[in-house]
Amino acid sequence: MVTTKILVIGGTGWIGKFIVQASAKAGYPTFALVRELTLSNPAKSPIIQTFKSLGVNLVLGDVHDHQSLVEAIKQVDVVISCVSYLHLPDQYKIISAIKEAGNVKRFFPSEFGNDVDRANGVDEAKILFDTKAKIRRTIEAEGIPHTYVAANFFSGHFLPTFAQLGAPPTPIDKVIILGDGNPRAIFNTEEDVATYTIKAVDDPRTLNKILYIRPLSNTLSFNELVSLWEKKTGKTLERVYIPEEQVLKQIQESSFPFNMALSICHAAFVKEDHTNYEIEPSFGVEATELYHDVKYTTVDEYLNGGTPFYLNQFIAVNV
């Protein structure tokens, strides 16, 4: 029986809801910090009902209300932040509350993407990576026990279904590929990211380390991704390669959030930020090597419904 108590902040957001559910299903006493506005929001009602059905403890509070935050943190052993990229600076308030509470055994800041200490971002991606890196340095300076989760790309976002795609400006008989399509990126389902994160909560091997989620079966170049999809569907796509110079120009000329999406993809698909370094024991461990019992979803399996057309949404090519 597990006794470690886990508080998730941002638990009704994109990755947060998966983290909360994984924690509860693993048997951890699970707490979710929620605002009153969230409880009265009809769009969040299904998520809240799922939490209740799993026995999740809903704790009223707000990161902007220091006292409520401290009181929530005092109830638990581990804090996992899942705040969105728009609210990353709010984590300084969480750090302050953790220091005041004085009882937290582990803090997982909101990361779940690139390893920001080994990133080559431009434009909005650079701002994002730098913001996360500064939060890391603050956590370390304050002496807070921590784990950083580098999950790379969420399959649910970067391998969209046709329903998610809508009507992209570039027709789907073509596929947009940044650079030469050979750098390898990593794709993980949100459910698997959540499972591995919760596995790490009580694991001394992940304390003060980066937990990398790098399944070999989910490490593919964009060319390999397209070929896999073609093999599964029996369709052949016209591959439209966008040179790096054009990608950078497109980023500069795009407005938010398109420039954010393109700059993050540039880091992965052109600069190979997911895989252009080795994981050293001094700073990191790899999830699939630690937790052999987890049956993760492969990209091959995911592409039974997902597609390689994410970039078609942002770059228009003449028909």
Residue positions annotated with a catalytic role: 132
Give the residue from 47, 71, 49, 50 showing the smallest Cα distance to 59. 71
Give the residue from 44, 43, 74, 46 showing the smallest Cα distance to 59. 74
Query: Do the Cβ atoms of 237 and 226 come closer than 8 Å?
Result: yes
Compute the distance between CA of residue 47 and CA of residue 39 in angstroms, rounded to an integer.
10
Q: Which two tokens stand for residue 29?
A: 């006493």
Residue 145 per-residue DSSP state = -
Residue 146 per-residue DSSP state = B
User: Which H or E run contains 244?
Assistant: helix 244-253
Other beta carbons within 10 Å of 294: 14
Query: Do the Cβ atoms of 125 and 267 come closer than 8 Å?
Result: yes
Instruction: Respond yes or no on whether the N-terminal peptide bond of residue 257 is cis (omega within 30° of 0).
Output: yes
Sequential DSSP letters for 174-242 = EEEEETTS-SEEEEE-HHHHHHHHHHHTT-GGGTTEEEE---GGGEEEHHHHHHHHHHHH---PEEEEE
